[in-house]
Chains A and B, each alone.
Chain A
Amino acid sequence: MEELKAFHGGRANLRLCFNSNQNEDSIFKALDQDLGKSPVESYRDEVGVLKKSVTYTLSCLEKWVAPKKAEVPLLFFPAKAEVMPQPLGVVLIFSSWNFPFTLALDPLIGAISAGNTVLLKPSDLAPACMSFLVETIPKYLDNKAIKVVAGGADIGERLLQLKWDKIFFTGSPRVGRLVMAAAAKHLTPVTLELGGKCPAIVDTLSTTPSKAKVTAKRIVGGKWGPCNGQACIAIDYLLVEEKLASALIELLKKTIKRFYGENIKSLKSISRIVNEHQFQRLVNLLKDPNVADSIVYGGSVDEEKLVIEPTILLDPPLDSEIMSEEIFGPLLPIITLKNIEESINFINSKSNPLVIYAFTEDETFKKRILSETSSGTVTFNDSMVQFLCDSLPFGGVGQSGFGRYHGKYSFDTFSHEKSILHRGFYPEIEPRYPPWTDFKLLFIKLAYEFDYFGLILLLLGFKRS
């Protein structure tokens, strides 16, 4: 039973009680209903993440809220300068359906810790989770300050007509544009957490067998682990050298079978596709005969159960939809290259992704990847875990979004950093005031250069204007 106490320090009296044991089962049930998520995945990606986030926030909050001193040059003496975070006001959070708890409550934690009042609009494409949030949040949180609204796109549109002090949006670039355009009418700042095609560069297959195995596990875990590929940070496609492709495919096949079962009938420990619309979208990606021909594993679908088995494709045509749109599902294209260094140009030919994953031990290559590509995050030799680092900003760049959160960044994203300068009445610097003379001009020039010695000379009459 975990009870997290109200934050002290004059901020709003909010009591955030994450009574996880009682509600944990309901949460697991809702996630299973909406997405077929298993309890372990649900804990790992949703409940556990949130608990960690709240605990971390509460332990740091007093420090974050405190004003930060800023240096003041001698010229201003006596003076004190500081930057003080303040809440923005009334904020709107739109969350997504694939991690319906994490993507709703993690921003909420940031907004509350920064002292705002909040309206949360969860996604109606995960209806059981949305209902849970609508019913349960008022039981624990001050519902004069924090509200949850159920509904679909029409409710979202109406909310966007109103004036907010901040809008936090997680979702697709298409809707991101609409949100920002609506925000522009009121000059509302926004954070957009979008997506993109997150590539994984695979350069560790020819190291040791055990590293190759771990690479395969982390790739499989990073593709089908998070909501069956329906995640903004899931691995979208792989880049590997031609000569290593078949070894990679064999390793992946073995790993998939061990993790998820031999075939579509015995599939387990994996989420399903969220709804019919997404199912059809994914099935359509495979309709192109050139794409279908490139399937080397999987490809079976079960429309009734909204299941598509883990599918690997080898070198589908680069201009096919599967290689130009964010996949957001259990299909994994592998693109082969003559030389792994070409992966940099390949990645740069597409828009900036949220994450670039690179499995490599070549330090020079790592440096090149860092300096020659642009993405929200880069993770070396693993997948997904960067999400757990509270000290790393989580957000995109370019088409994958702007703004960031997690840890203190969540607090900052919902705060205004107000600068404050305290001055005394003495001493008074006469040259500040008109009527202007050459002396005053020279004085101020020296002052602006912090040329204290020059100033003394001027005052003593040793400098001429």
Chain B
Amino acid sequence: MASEVEKKAVFDIDSAKEVVQELRASFVAGKTKDYEWRRTQLKAMLKMMDENEPQIVAALRDDLSKPELESSIYEIAMLKNSCKLALKKMKHWMMPEKAKTSLATFPSSAEIVSEPLGVVLVISAWNYPFLLSLDPVIGAIAAGNAIVLKPSEISPATASLLAKLVANYMDSSCIKVVEGAVPETTALLEQKWDKIMYTGNGRIARIVMAAAAKHLTPVVLELGGKCPVIVDSGINLQVATRRIIAGKWGCNNGQACISPDYIITTKDYAVELVDSFKCELELFYGKNPLESKDLSRVVNSNHFARLLKLLDEDKVSSKIVYGGERDKSNLKIAPTVLLDVPQDSLIMNEEIFGPLLPIITIDKVEDSFDLITSGTKPLAAYMFTNNKKLKEKFVEKVSAGGLVINDTTVHLAEPTLPFGGVGDSGMGAYHGKFSFDTFSHKKAVLYRSFAGDAPLRYPPYTNGKLRLLKALLGGSILGIIRALMGWSKA
């Protein structure tokens, strides 16, 4: 029997419109605003992760060769924590906040009420495809919105799994996953959303924001940048090196927005630092790191070629002091450390997003601040030092999304810290309550009574009224009394 209705194979503008219409109807009907609905969805998400951990780990292995530990911890465990925190604190977050009122509006009371924005679009990235898809969704659900999630097509196994799991576990009249690549994303971006959250690179971010501008849609852009690490002397070098390695190669093999991108240290200290890296890297990944099971691969051949281009540039390839091996068929590049690459090389002018770590040397540690501020603002900046003054200067001078002193990347796990960029590394923030806030509209509410209606508000306007107004807005009781008595000048 020939099928009478052909399934729509293509997700085009009309499909996108239909999706938004359906979600808007659900939102307007009040489904997502209901506290119980939000709880049920978050609980369902927890159940989804509990019951499918092996499948999630397998999909991440397919897409990224991600080691099981990284998948379990950085994707699943972190997400579960985020979910549990939202479940625990949501009621409190949803409560209106009292606001102070002043003499100027006496008598009155005021509060700030959180309300959902409506129908939101979350576009996520390929490097932490599970975490970066569902963590924003947790915030959007907690805040009471209807959601479309568009996972990255560069991590297709995870994208498919997400589509399947979300449809099975969550309320698909309010939360949908749309798979696809550029055409599908473009179709989605044509629609009117109440908020768009995008995680990815600056080039696409500009396209997202320009599309949002047509509908006056506010956006959160979580981008990247070259996250520098300043290494001072007089520290516990072994611990510092390990923490840098954990943040670089331990995070999806350097393919993370907050991975240390490059190191700045003094000329005097560089040799010791390089030796420390050599020692620790071998301890962690063995003599043949290309065969280590504890490293993700490079995600695809495009990125592989891009990284080789950075590595094989003439003035750069001679600066390799450790590593440099590559295995094209398995898309692997060994952890590679370079010393003193020129400032104008490619590797120093774009976000590396891979297992290559250049070390730049300077005369004094203080010089590193100017070096960093001469570039665009990164998502994170790190410094290893025991010098209190240097710490203070670092915090004051370096503008980045977030800073960590004497460690790398761990601030990501801290839900009381807003996670987001500034300048080229993005706008807006999330995690913890910040996720809830980012998907909420904070509505100001002023309650006034009929008592105390001052005639001085209304015309006809006279000098006397002007005097009184000045005193009232000036806020001083004495001033008001004087004005009433006619003792102050107009």
Contact = CB atoms under 8 A, between A and B. Distances in A.
Given A72-B416, A180-B212, A385-B108, A259 B403 contact: no
A44 B469 contact: yes
A301 interface: no
Given A83-B418, A380-B445, 4 more contacts: A176-B216, A225-B459, A370-B445, A434-B285
A341 B413 CA distance: 47
Contact of B216 (A72, A194, A417, A424): A194
B93 interface: no
A421 B404 contact: yes
A397 B216 CA distance: 9
B444 A392 contact: yes
A338 interface: no
Contacts, number: 296
B391 A269 contact: no
A391 B423 CA distance: 28
A33 interface: no
Given A51-B474, A385-B105, A449 B81 contact: yes
A398 B116 CA distance: 11
Contacts of A34: none
B405 to A, nearest CB: 5
B129 interface: no
A260 B458 CA distance: 10
Contacts of A185: 206, 210
Interface of B: 28, 33, 67-69, 72-73, 77-78, 80-81, 99-102, 104-105, 108, 110, 112-113, 115, 117-118, 194, 202, 205-206, 209-210, 212-214, 216, 218, 221, 223, 235-236, 239-240, 242-243, 245-246, 250, 284-286, 292-294, 391, 395, 399-407, 410-411, 413-414, 416-419, 422-424, 426-429, 441-450, 453, 457-462, 465-466, 469-470, 473-475
Contact of B286 (A51, A435, A445): A435
Interface string A356-384: 00000000000000110011111111100
Contacts of A215: 450
Given A187-B206, A378-B445, A418 B400 contact: yes
B447 A381 contact: yes
A303 B230 CA distance: 68
B395 A420 contact: yes
A247 B80 CA distance: 60
A210 B99 CA distance: 29
Nearest to B411: A421
Interface of A, helix, strand, loop or mixed by DSSP: mixed
A117 interface: no
A243 interface: no
B167 to A, nearest CB: 27
Nearest to A352: B441
Contact of B414 (A81, A187, A393): A81
Contacts of B240: 425
B395 to A, nearest CB: 6
A419 B418 contact: yes
A389 B399 contact: no
Interface stretch (A35-43, A105-113, A127-135): A35-43
A434 to B, nearest CB: 4
B404 A448 contact: no
A388 interface: yes
A34 B141 CA distance: 49
Contacts of B250: 432-434
A70 B115 contact: no
A386 B209 CA distance: 31
B418 A417 contact: yes
A389 B466 contact: no
Contacts of B293: 436
A391 B99 contact: yes
Nearest to B400: A418
A399 interface: yes
